[in-house]
Amino acid sequence: MRLTEEGRRLLDRCQDPIEALQGIVGFTDDTRRQSIRITVPPLAARTTIGPRLLDFAEQNPDVALEMTTTNIMLDFFRDNIDVAFRVGPLTDSSLVAKRLWSVPYCFCAGQGFIGERGLRGLISRPDFLALPALTAGQPWVLESGETLHPKQTAHNLTDLDVIAQAARRNLGVAMLPSDMVNSDLKRLEVIDTVPLTRDMFAVYPSRRLLPARIRKLIDFMTPG
């Protein structure tokens, strides 16, 4: 059994006032742990969001975190989610989104791939698009607003870690967050073609009557 969407909306709206009333009249059970249900992209769970959530958990032992790692946009009400951490651009205007930090992207490939293909210096866009590509099932978005569609998709992989591993094995070119490009990979400069810098957001259904524990988590995750 689970609440309907209408029931979930009502519960979320009532939770904060009920917590406040319990505190005023002394009904709060200090041993009761309240939960926060969270979704995070797998890569962010391992590198940025996950460690920060553990810091929050250490400092707030009265809060239990329930984290689901997925690249799928889960429904807040149907899937019982309190906060989602998502990389923009975001499309659902009914949600509240708080920007946390920027995630710059770049084009890259393995050293062996670059040597075999003679990819030195600036690369023209047509030449670049003709190379075998490692994609995540979506077109590559540029700062200009354009979208690139590689002519040859070598592999379609939804996990950025796996894409990075494939690039290190010289299986194709990729577009990855800049901080994933290390000594095993090398950036590629494409003429008039700059990948979009994306932003990480904390996303939630409503600013109105947001429970205190969730507001505290969002504030904690926001860089000072």
Residues 204 and 139 in one domain: no
What pTM value is reported for the model?
0.73
Q: What is the rounded CA–CA span in Å between residue 163 and residue 146?
A: 22
The answer to whether 198 touches 88, Cβ cutoff 8 Å, is yes
Residues 94 and 133 in one domain: no
Q: For position 150, what pLDDT does the model report?
A: 93
Residues 90 and 141 in one domain: no
Q: For position 26, what pLDDT does the model report?
A: 47
Residues 84 and 149 in one domain: no
Q: pLDDT tier at 116 (50, 70, 90 boundaries)?
A: very high
Share of the chain above pLDDT 90, in %: 62
Considering just the CA atoms, what is the radius of gyration of the chain in Å? 21
Residues 130 and 141 in one domain: yes
Q: For position 104, what pLDDT does the model report?
A: 95
Residues 132 and 212 in one domain: no
Range in 9-23, 76-90, 118-132 the model is least confident about: 9-23
Residues 33 and 87 in one domain: yes
Containing structural domain, residue 96: 5-102+199-221
Range in 1-10, 131-140, 146-155, 174-183 the model is least confident about: 1-10
Q: How many domains is the chain partitioned into structurally? A: 2
